[in-house]
Amino acid sequence: MAPGGEAQIDANVQLEDKQPCFIFGASSIEGLDLSGLLTNSTNNIGKGYTDISFEDSYDNVLGASLKTLKLGAPCTPNIYEYPNVTTYTSNLSIGQNGITAITANGNDALENLEHLDIIGWYNKQTTQGAASWLSDIFSGNGYDRKNITTFYAMGCDMATEFKTSNAGNKFEDLRLPTSVTTLEFVNSSWENISFWESTELTPTSSRYDKIIGIPSSVNTIKFKGTTARNQCSLDMVLSWINNMEADIRTQHPGYTIDEIEEALWEVLATKVIYAEQINWGAGTTKLYYKDLIRLSKIGNDGILYNLKGYVIISDTANLTAIQVAELQNIFGEHAFDIGTINTNLVIDQDSGFVRISVKGATID
């Protein structure tokens, strides 16, 4: 192979229990697929790897070369669902695996990672002191993995928190388990995000079913930095609330519209939201007065201070004086004052910064 060239190496190695496997030239490898080490654990055969160290994969001159890392169990998509696959199955188990050293000489051996697959990980404990990779894989202890754009974590039923890097990630495809109940996005955006429920999870097989939208089981959503400037953040919040409403309709088919809304407010009171630098409603996804009222019912203390930025509502009829007063009562007396956009939620109706007509009069 010529210097600087590319090659794919497939290794077929029979390893005994707890026998170490060393990969030489690791500092030149851009893609690493270890899913082949995971085998069906029937009769206690093939429990997967017990420890992986990336300590020597960092080159002091070239830095970290690894861009693709597949540690998860191989999954088979439902062939009848192409191109929109909603079900994956696997007959492999990852067992109780662990990651140790991921730094080398104070540097992050995974700093340039772009694609990460940890499908099927559960009951994990890393030496980084966190409960799981899901809560600290992107940022912590001096590292910030902002280059990750694809993250597959279906079946990782061992974490409740997911947090991006602090610099921000531009996700192309983000797949999370339904065990995640707290989402924290910092300076981030995403093209596709999906949640997957683990069913038939056993030591020898598993199935992952895609949930439509953001599951109502999510308790907390935080948008920090520039995240809420992106339309995907509004899409997430509305999907989240819509799924709460859908659950109520399913559980109480006889409820009236008013009873459904009252029940929804009770559910919203148990949730938490935080968003700054908001810019919602100007894109293809629209926001309405009813949505703002629902947002105000979310139960975190000080809703006035937990939503900051600018929203434009698309109600065709002008807000009434009563509605204006209600919004000011909820979001503060400066809810229609563009000068408070950094400390308050500023509401607009005609993108005029900020003009809302009330019975023929204009509020500037």
- Each residue of 272-303: pLDDT tens digit? 999 999 999 989 999 999 999 999 999 865 56
DSSP state at residue 177: E
Q: Among 10-19, 108-117, 209-218, 288-297, whose mean pLDDT is lowest?
A: 10-19
Q: What are the tens digits of pLDDT across the range 131-143?
A: 445 567 888 777 8
Average pLDDT over residues 325-346: 88
Greater pLDDT, 150 or 199: 150
Identify the three-state secondary structure at position 278. strand
CA distance 47 to 94: 7
Question: What is d(CA 309, CA 330) in angstroms, rounded to the nearest whole number?
Answer: 15
- What does the block give as tokens for 59? 């080159």
pLDDT in tens, 225-251: 999 999 999 999 999 999 999 999 999
pTM of the full structure: 0.85
Residues constituting the chain:
364
Place of tokens 């794919």: 8
Average pLDDT, the chain: 79
**Structural contact between residues 286 and 318, judged by C-beta atoms closer than 8 angstroms:** no
Q: Bridge-partner residues for 224, per DSSP?
A: 186
Give the number of other CB atoms < 10 A from CB of residue 74: 16
- In sequence order, the β-bridge partners of residue 88 are 77, 208
On the CB side of 283, CA atoms within 13 Å amount to 13
Q: What element of type H or E holds 183?
A: strand 182-186
Contact 99, 126 (CB under 8 A): yes
Q: Assign 103 a pLDDT band (cuts: 50, 70, 90).
A: low
Residue 307, both tokens:
């939503």
Q: What is the mean pLDDT of residues 67-87?
A: 76
How high is the pLDDT of residue 301? Answer: 56
- Distance between CA atoms of residues 119 and 243, nearest Å: 25
pLDDT given at position 204: 63
Residue 315 main-chain phi, psi, to 5 deg: -60, 130
